[in-house]
Amino acid sequence: MSLLPVDEALARMLDGAAPKRAEMVALADAGGRVLAAPVAALRTQPPFPASAMDGYAVRAEDVAAVPARLRVIGEAPAGAPFAGTVGPGDAVRIFTGAPVPEGADAVLIQENTKRDGAHVEVLESVARGRNIRRAGLDFEHGEPLLPAGRVLDPAALSLVAAANHATVSVVERPLVAVIATGDELVAPGSNLGPGQIVASNATGVAALAREAGAEALDLGIARDERPAIAAKVRDALAAGADVIVTLGGASVGDHDLVHEVLAGEGMQLDFWKIAMRPGKPLMFGRLGATRVIGLPGNPVSSMVCSVLFLKPLLLSLAGRPPAQTIREARLTAPMPENDTRQDYVRAAIVENGGDPSVTPFVTQDSSMLKVFAEANGLIIRPPFAPPAAAGETVKVLMLR
């Protein structure tokens, strides 16, 4: 099977990746979710003319000339409206958010007054309507507030709550089952024996899945044995996984059994091997309605492929746009010509006051997680790209 270009591989992986079904969830559990239906206001906000300041509710005509002296006939704290009417020469002590009493048409801020027992001296006039929020200033009952597809960030959640929704319709989260493979792997925190290494890929892939709006199910480590791998795959299917991600074992070595096991379980292989670096041995197929992604075992290859392929797929299933952030920046160092594969070079991009520059790391070995953690971007080098001199502009896929 020939190497597949990156763009074609991504298009095939995203083919048919529609948002999942809608579900109702409590507002407290809706943070970061995607609206499956528009949200309209169930109430008017504010529901009455409300004071925007602490001070005194007055008739503007009574304070047109200052100084003026008014009778204080009551108080209107938030949540306890004044029941009477403000007449000529009257004032009501009022607090932010409280309903403006009938008869009043302005609010004097308290800094412009001087209280004297049952009276208040007005030191500065105030115009009609000043410091009053009209009813419906924010939104009216029935007004559309948020469209389907909006991510419920803190501001959106506050708006939905203010509109008096206790529950909200959101896109169901896709479920990602992560299966690490390899006799050499042990869980983080273990005492390592001879030849063993810590299984780090599953942690990073699961975190990326959650950032993309999915739920992650870590099924642990499968030994390099066909029955062990098959058992993990069946566990993933039994859990209802939308995507199964295998880590390692999808190459062509004597102990790379993942492809063989998945085929035995009924997977229809779509493609295997991509014209990219790092991450050439990436596999994609389908087990019925479940998508299967076989990521390389090298840690950086696994994470780069997750950024390029797994993240857009999960965003699509979660109801979000799958777009990636690509910027242009000036090289601070020359880069050699590229070969037949699209290169993703770990790099550090610096803003420089709106004139971003980017520096590729000297060492690009696909096992080096420290370099990947320090990088905030990947310089994209297309196949057969000519040498690039310092100062030339290149495209950078942003990691954060």
Residue 240 reports pLDDT greater than 70: yes
pLDDT tops 70 at residue 252: no
The amino acid occupying position 112 is: N
d(CA 129, CA 105): 6
Across the range 211-217, mean pLDDT stands at 96
CA angle 207, 210, 212 (to 5 degrees): 115
User: What pLDDT score was predicted for residue 323?
Assistant: 86
pLDDT digits (tens, 9 = 90+) for 192-205: 999 999 999 999 99
Residue 17 structure tokens: 């990746």
Per the CB < 8 A criterion, the answer to whether 267 and 287 are in contact is yes
- The pLDDT of residue 346 is 97
> How far lies 259's CA from each of 218, 225, 252, 347, in Å?
20, 12, 9, 32
Give residue 1's pLDDT.
Answer: 54
Q: Which two tokens stand for residue 335?
A: 């880069």
Q: Using one digit for the tens of pLDDT, what is the confidence trace for 329-360?
A: 999 999 999 999 999 999 999 999 889 999 99
DSSP secondary structure, 10-24, as one string:
HHHHHTT-----EEE
pLDDT at 135: 97
Q: What is the mean pLDDT of the chain?
A: 95
DSSP string, 223-234: -SSHHHHHHHHH
Q: Tell me: the pLDDT tens digits for 271-318?
A: 989 999 999 999 999 999 999 999 999 999 999 999 999 999 999 999
Instruction: Tell me how far apart the alpha carbons of residues 244 and 216 are, in angstroms, rounded to a whole number.
Output: 10
Q: Over the stretch 108-153, which tens digit does the pLDDT of each residue have?
A: 999 999 999 999 999 999 999 999 999 999 999 999 999 999 999 9
Given a cut of 90, whether residue 253 has pLDDT beyond it is: no
Read off the pLDDT of residues 255-267 as tens digits, 9 standing for 90 and up: 578 999 999 999 9
Tens digit of pLDDT for each residue in 161-179?
999 999 999 999 999 999 9
Q: pLDDT tens across 67-96, in order? A: 999 999 999 999 999 999 999 999 999 999
Q: Please, what are the domains in the chain?
A: 6-20+173-317 (3.40.980.10), 31-45+138-171 (3.90.105.10), 50-133 (2.170.190.11), 326-395 (2.40.340.10)
> What is the predicted pLDDT for the residue at 251?
64
Give the model's pLDDT for residue 152.
97
To 5 degrees, how large is the angle CA 206–CA 212–CA 152? Answer: 130
Distance from chain centroid for Cα 359: 27
Residue 2 has a pLDDT of 76
pLDDT of residue 110: 95
- Threshold 0.85, pTM exceeds: yes
Q: Is the model's pLDDT at 9 over the cut of 70? A: yes
Among 246, 279, 276, 239, which residue's Cα sits nearest to residue 260? 246
Q: Which residues contact 169 (CB under 8 A, 6 or more apart)?
A: 22, 23, 24, 35, 36, 37
**Closest of 46, 52, 48, 57 to residue 107, by C-alpha:** 57
Ranges 170-174, 251-255, 371-375: which has the least confidence: 251-255
Length of the chain: 400
Report the percentage of the chain scoring pLDDT > 70. 98
**How confident is the model at residue 255, as a pLDDT?**
55
5 φ, ψ to 5°?
-60, 150
